[in-house]
Amino acid sequence: MEFFERFAIPHPSAPIYASMVAIALTIVAIIAGLTYFKKWGYLWREWLTTVDHKRIGIMYLISALLMLFRGGVDALMMRAQLAVPDNKLLDAQHYNEVFTTHGVVMIIFMAMPFIMALMNFVVPLQIGARDVAFPRLNALSFWLFFMGAMLFNISFVVGGSPDAGWTSYFPLAGNEFSTSVGSNYYMIAIQIAGLGTLMTGINFITTIFKMRAPGMTLMKMPMFTWSALITNAIIVFAFPVLTVALAMGTMDRLFGTHFFTTNNGGMDMLWANLFWVWGHPEVYILILPAFGIYSEVISTFARRNLYGYKSMVVSMVLISFMSFLVWVHHFFTMGQGALTNSIFSITTMAIAVPTGIKIFNWLFTLYKGKIEITTPMLYALLFIPLFTIGGVTGVMLGMSAADYQYHNTMFLVAHFHMVIIPGVVFAMLAGLTYWWPKMFGFMLNERLGKLAAWVIGISTLVAFMPMFFSGLDGQARRMYTYSASTGFGPLNMISFVGAIGLAVGFAIIVYNVYYSVRYASRDIGADPWNARTLEWATHSPVPEYNFAIVPHVKSAEALWDAKKKRHILFQGDYEKIHMPNNSGVPFIMSSIFFVWGFAMIFSMWAVAIIATIGIFACMAHRSVEIDHGRYISVRKIEETETKLRGAK
Amino acid sequence: MKLDHSLPLEYRTEEGQLKILGFWIFLGAEIMLFGTLFASYFTLVDRVGSGPSGAEIFEITPVLIETLVLLTSSFTIGLGIHAMRLGRKKAMLSFFAITLLLGLAFLGVEIYEFVHYVHIGAGLQTSAFTAILLTTLGTHGLHVTFGLFWGLFILLQVKKRGLTPETANKSFIFSLYWHFLDVVWIFIFSFVYLKGMM
Amino acid sequence: MSLIFTIFTVLTGCEPLLVLDPKGPQAQVQANDIKTSIIIMSFIVIAVFTILAIMLFKYRASKQNKDYEPPHIEGNVWVETICVGIPIIIVAFLSFMSVKSNYAVEAAPNGYGNKEPLVIYAASSNWKWHFSYPEEKIETVNYVYIPTDRPVEFKLYSYGPITSFWIPQLAGQKYAMADMVNTLHLAADVPGEYMGRNANFSGKGFAENTFNVKAMPQKEFDEWVDEVKDTAKPLTEEKFTELLEPGHLGQSTYTGTHLGFMPPPEGENGGHNHGSNGGDKNMEQHQPNETDSKTEHEHH
């Protein structure tokens, strides 16, 4: 019995049991459905073993949306608990687990795969490539992320969720104060997903450097590709820091080392430093692709070229450098003294300058434009004012002395939600709506889309503006309850209303997907938005080889040149196309990683060792394997092209 | 497959070029990884708790042997790649084999060193200092171990398949990895051992 | 922005927000920074909103000729110089303010420089605050009395997770950690009761990890100290260990402090056996030696 006891939930409650049942039923339903419709083979051949960047992108997208749902439910539970004083909906332990998983899920398992989804799908198309540099590595990246996410998500039904906050500060997250396996899940699951992210970084930098269409110099890349390049550069330099920090945390928890403990020389401040040396660049890993998306969307629907292309690039490069020089502002109050604080206060506020340049460039892109307000454009136009509020409060937080008052309060929570939701989430929704026809061959309904955008935009304000005030009134973050005498009640009630509004907004998007799948026209052509970049030059949905003929490019707006300046994109005849083979190894290897992670979390060493051997066996297999890929014949290309053209 | 014969064998296919660039970027990530370990080491080096300090446990002899062996192996793998470019498969294989043997010797001495540390009461759990010391050395050691297996696989492939653009590409990338481990060791030697013994 | 601000102020019940209602010089510095930066930032927000509104108003497709073809505009050096220049000026100004304020809050409170500070050791344990008065040789749990018109130095450390010591109306936060002592300077200008809490998440009992602060004139404070010395029980090592057990306790008062038998971590910035920088002067000065506190116990 003892063996099984550790898998039990330390703090069970009715909703957790309900979720257990729900998860079990869902798994049964999926397995039964796949078997009944005989789709196992299809699933394996077309999805689990695929190395196609478009399909991997779509799988990232599905995972991100699932995780958005999970993180969103966490958020609703939190806002419901705080809606009235002295609420008993959740107890302290449960609330702590909920805000911890909310943070981790939203940042690592929702926002990250969302940007990965769009980067995967769009970047190779935008640079006129047939796939990424290392397609199989790409599949491995996805499956590692996916297994990490699944591992993290089973924590609340097996063994207990992490409960030390998404920052997981030691010594709170150490064995002494966090006795359940929750924090083990945190360390291991994020580690596995992080490895996948690092590989993506390497993959995309190589892809963008080496696989651009002829004529596309670096300064002729679309802005989203530029943002992807810089983001991946940040990934490559930031994620190893997280890898080390998590490894040290794991060793503290599993092997009794003293990196971050309170005795034998351990140093809790080291964790905080390492975490934020990764954590702050991570913020820019999320926001830069978002900026890239806005650049594409605003320029497309203002029907104008992007204003200040060069300064956009320069500002992104500056942001990426500076993002590594500001981490101390996450703990001005740690007592490092006025000098250190002053230096980091200045670097923090300085980073607002390149960000400001971008805002003004977007505004001037509208100048003399012919603005058409579509759903993606609406998100972009809502983003500018809301993000400005989030941004300027960030400058305020950067003032170190004043930060002594903002730190750890709802003011901070309000700030980063006002940055991340308009900045990242709106961008993801804009990008999703914008590229949806390219992914699936039909458009999402515009009326429902705009309605959702308005509901989400307004609800964001309603949910998060009150927090600025309750923060200044002394409400600390992460408090599971407060007494009526504090007077926080009305403000938190408003926030709760806003949270419900956000939920309604996302529900409208889900309905929109359902509605559009059923009723939207499939006859949309390659370029339904009248856009400017290469991804719109091939068919929707995209054939597996992306472009039948490699495009030739003259400017950052290749398709626009083709439409307006009679530039010829595709010259020459069809040639046979080299494509990579599918492989089951990434999926299998990642599944073994899942087993390895689970075994590590529960200290089942024998299983962990066997899994480790399994992982290395997969690598050995890869080393000796001979795989030269396959060719798509000219005849096959002709057939596909005729068929797709007919669908126009 | 397009082949550009003006380039060295390992760069001849497009895929090969991608892999070499990708690997350089990976080494960038590795630099950050070891950089973080070094930064943590310098932060924790004086936090010895009730355990021993570096000066009390470091011994110069095994460290010198390790350094000598690893530096030599970096030289021999360089010779191996040179032989590969001249198309001399046999010479290349011999140099690779010597490299791997030297790597094995390094690993042997390092294992001895670890056992010794644990024996004199400087185990993983002793203090923050011993933990970061053994983690930094151990991460490098694990890289070497991984390299031994990887190198062996490449050696066998070259032996069986001959010098093709693919095997040459793999060998070249492996040599980059091996040189990198050598550079990391030079840092460990200077800033962990020498500085610790002074 | 200001409209929203007014609406919310009304909603919070017309009372000023705690942080913007400072009762001491340190919190005053911070409140000034906050208010100034809100005003400056409002200009930026208004500028962005205005430009956006103008652009949307003038350049909507529906307002334009069907054949209108937007021009290709690369950028303009002057416009971009302005867009960089003005933010740089603003950031430079705010940086200047930030640095000045940071040095101010890290030093003795303005106007109190010449007065001898009262040193109080504030240690957190799950989920309580222990206040030791080394000079007065008394200790309180979950409440702290301070004299007005006299600078107070809180020496912060923790028996457990990182906590953050915060009295919004008197001063901003500072962390209390297990392996170093942080100093928080503050002073109360006016007598009154203030809310204090741990602002940094520290586990299950975090929400209730609060304490009361009462500021009173020096005379009253001295009377209180005397009263405590007459009535309170001594703090023994055994009793203190019991107090450290995780949980919530009400307020309590003791004579003697735990500083003797369970001294705070060494050094201002160091951990165990780590660069003590010649030791912290205040601590050497105020930390009673073991015999002192023992005799104290025997007296009562």
Chains that touch A (3 or more CB pairs under 8 A): B, C
The answer for residues whose C-beta is within 8 angstroms of residue A69's C-beta and 6 or more apart is A506
Instruction: Please tell me whether residue B46 adopts helix, strand or coil conformation.
Output: coil
Neighbours of C264 (CB within 10 A): 20
Return the closest-CA partner of residue C186 out of C213, C226, C218. Answer: C213
A205 token code pair: 């930098």
Supply φ then ψ for residue C216, to 5 degrees: -150, 160
Nearest Cβ partner of A258 from B37, B131, B150? B131
The answer for residues whose C-beta is within 8 angstroms of residue A484's C-beta and 6 or more apart is A85, A86
The reply to whether CATH 1.10.287 applies to domain C23-105 is yes
Look at residue B1 and tell me if it is in a domain. no
Look at residue B109 and tell me if it is in a domain. yes
pLDDT category of residue C14 using cuts at 50, 70 and 90: low
A-facing residues of C in 52-81 (CB < 8 A) are: 52, 55-56, 59-61, 64, 68-75, 79-80
- Taking the Cβ of residue C275 and every Cβ of chain A, the question of whether any pair is shorter than 8 Å is answered with no
Nearest Cβ partner of A392 from C45, C105, C162? C45
Tell me the CATH number at B29.
Answer: 1.20.120.80
Nearest Cβ partner of C199 from A349, A385, A408? A408
Label residue B163 left, alpha or beta by phi (over 0 means left) and psi (-120 to 50 means alpha): beta
Q: What is the mean pLDDT of residues A36-54?
A: 92
Residues of A with CB under 8 A from a CB of B: 133-134, 198, 201-203, 205-206, 209-211, 236-241, 243-245, 247-248, 251, 255-259, 261, 263-267, 270, 274, 277, 578, 616, 620, 623-624, 628
Per-residue HEC secondary structure of A396-426 comes to: HHHCHHHHHHHCCEHHHHHHHHHHHHHHHHH
How far apart CA A549 and CA A570 sit, in angstroms, is 6
Kindly report the nearest CA distance between residue B61 and chain C, in angstroms. 29
How far apart CA A118 and CA A433 sit, in angstroms, is 11
With pLDDT > 70 as the criterion, what percentage of chain C qualifies? 84
What is the tens place of the pLDDT at every residue in A303-335?
999 999 999 999 999 999 999 999 999 999 999
Instruction: Please tell me whether residue A439 adopts helix, strand or coil conformation.
Output: helix
A338 token code pair: 């006025």
Confidence at residue C53, expressed as pLDDT on a 0 to 100 scale: 96
Give the nearest chain B residue to A576 (CA atoms): B1
**Cβ-defined contact of A268 to C178 (cutoff 8 Å):** yes
How far apart CA A386 and CA A415 sit, in angstroms, is 11
Considering only A370-384, A500-514, A557-571, which range has the smallest mean pLDDT? Answer: A557-571
Are the C-beta atoms of C213 and C159 separated by less than 8 Å? no
> How many domains would you assign to chain B?
1
Confidence at residue B12, expressed as pLDDT on a 0 to 100 scale: 85
Extended strands (E) in C243-295: 252-255
Confidence at residue A492, expressed as pLDDT on a 0 to 100 scale: 96
B173 token code pair: 């990338």
Confidence at residue A252, expressed as pLDDT on a 0 to 100 scale: 96
Chain A interface, best mutation among B3, B11, B21, by max A CB count within 10 A: B21
Confidence at residue A21, expressed as pLDDT on a 0 to 100 scale: 86
pLDDT category of residue C148 using cuts at 50, 70 and 90: very high
Confidence at residue C286, expressed as pLDDT on a 0 to 100 scale: 41
Confidence at residue A648, expressed as pLDDT on a 0 to 100 scale: 40
Look at residue B90 and tell me if it is in a domain. yes
**Cβ-defined contact of A202 to B131 (cutoff 8 Å):** no
**Cβ-defined contact of A258 to B21 (cutoff 8 Å):** no
Look at residue B136 and tell me if it is in a domain. yes
Answer whether residue A174 shows pLDDT above 80. yes
Distances (CA, A) of A104 to A279, A427, A495, A634: 12, 20, 21, 48
With pLDDT > 90 as the criterion, what percentage of chain A qualifies? 86
Give me the domain span that covers residue B14: 9-197
pLDDT averaged over chain C? Answer: 85
Look at residue B4 and tell me if it is in a domain. no
The answer for residues whose C-beta is within 8 angstroms of residue C159's C-beta and 6 or more apart is C123, C124, C125, C126, C178, C244
Confidence at residue C3, expressed as pLDDT on a 0 to 100 scale: 55
pLDDT category of residue C28 using cuts at 50, 70 and 90: very high
pLDDT category of residue C281 using cuts at 50, 70 and 90: very low
Answer whether residue C273 shows pLDDT above 50. no
* Boundaries of every domain in chain C: 23-105, 118-270+279-299
Return the closest-CA partner of residue C23 out of C186, C152, C206. Answer: C186
Are the C-beta atoms of A313 and A301 separated by less than 8 Å? no
Pairing outcome for strands C171-176 and C163-167: antiparallel
Distances (CA, A) of A476 to A413, A470, C122, C200: 9, 9, 19, 8
Are the C-beta atoms of A347 and A325 separated by less than 8 Å? yes
Cα-to-chain-centroid distance, residue A277:
19
**Cβ-defined contact of A408 to C99 (cutoff 8 Å):** no
Pairing outcome for strands C152-159 and C252-255: unpaired
Chain C interface, best mutation among A389, A399, A413, A493, by max C CB count within 10 A: A399
Pairing outcome for strands C152-159 and C128-133: unpaired
Ordered DSSP codes for A369-382:
--B---HHHHHHHH
**Cβ-defined contact of B36 to A240 (cutoff 8 Å):** yes
Kindly report the nearest CA distance between residue B130 and chain C, in angstroms. 15
Residues of C with CB under 8 A from a CB of B: 271-275
How far apart CA B171 and CA B156 sit, in angstroms, is 11
The answer for residues whose C-beta is within 8 angstroms of residue A591's C-beta and 6 or more apart is A143, A147
A-facing residues of B in 97-156 (CB < 8 A) are: 124-129, 131-132, 135, 149-150, 153-154, 156
**Chain A residues inside the 8 Å CB shell of B26:** 202
pLDDT category of residue A212 using cuts at 50, 70 and 90: very high
Burial A12-42 (b: 16+ CB within 10 A, else e): eeebbeeeeeeeeeeeeeeeeeeeeeeeeee
Chain B interface, best mutation among C179, C266, C274, by max B CB count within 10 A: C274
pTM here is 0.94
Kindly report the nearest CA distance between residue C262 and chain B, in angstroms. 18
Confidence at residue C271, expressed as pLDDT on a 0 to 100 scale: 40
What is the tens place of the pLDDT at every residue in A271-289?
999 999 999 999 999 999 9
The CATH code belonging to domain C118-270+279-299 is 2.60.40.420
Look at residue B2 and tell me if it is in a domain. no
Chains that touch C (3 or more CB pairs under 8 A): A, B
C215 token code pair: 């500021």
Look at residue B134 and tell me if it is in a domain. yes
Nearest Cβ partner of B47 from A241, A256, A265? A265
**Chain B residues inside the 8 Å CB shell of C273:** 46-49
Nearest Cβ partner of A240 from B29, B40, B150? B29
Confidence at residue C8, expressed as pLDDT on a 0 to 100 scale: 56
**Chain C residues inside the 8 Å CB shell of B49:** 272-273
**Cβ-defined contact of A210 to B18 (cutoff 8 Å):** yes
Supply φ then ψ for residue C200, to 5 degrees: -105, 125
Instruction: Please tell me whether residue A428 adopts helix, strand or coil conformation.
Output: helix
Confidence at residue A9, expressed as pLDDT on a 0 to 100 scale: 79
**Chain B residues inside the 8 Å CB shell of A270:** 40, 43-44
Burial A565-575 (b: 16+ CB within 10 A, else e): eebebbeeebe
**Cβ-defined contact of A265 to B49 (cutoff 8 Å):** yes
What is the tens place of the pLDDT at every residue in A397-437?
999 999 999 999 999 999 999 999 999 999 999 999 999 99
What is the tens place of the pLDDT at every residue in C192-251?
999 999 999 999 999 999 999 999 999 999 999 999 999 999 999 999 999 999 999 899
Write out residues in chain B with pLDDT < 70, as ranges: 1-4
What is the tens place of the pLDDT at every residue in A455-496?
999 999 999 999 999 999 999 999 999 999 999 999 999 999
Size of interface B-C (CB pairs under 8 A): 10
Confidence at residue C67, expressed as pLDDT on a 0 to 100 scale: 87
Q: What is the mean pLDDT of residues A39-45?
A: 90
- Taking the Cβ of residue C132 and every Cβ of chain A, the question of whether any pair is shorter than 8 Å is answered with no
- Taking the Cβ of residue B180 and every Cβ of chain A, the question of whether any pair is shorter than 8 Å is answered with no
Peptide bond into A171 cis (omega under 30): yes
What residue type is A522 in one-letter code? R
Nearest Cβ partner of A408 from C60, C69, C164? C164
A-facing residues of C in 228-257 (CB < 8 A) are: none
Confidence at residue C6, expressed as pLDDT on a 0 to 100 scale: 56
**Chain A residues inside the 8 Å CB shell of C175:** 331, 333-335
How far apart CA A4 and CA B44 sit, in angstroms, is 38
Nearest Cβ partner of A491 from C12, C69, C102? C12
Confidence at residue B13, expressed as pLDDT on a 0 to 100 scale: 87
How far apart CA A463 and CA A481 sit, in angstroms, is 18
How far apart CA C262 and CA A175 sit, in angstroms, is 23
Extended strands (E) in A387-523: none
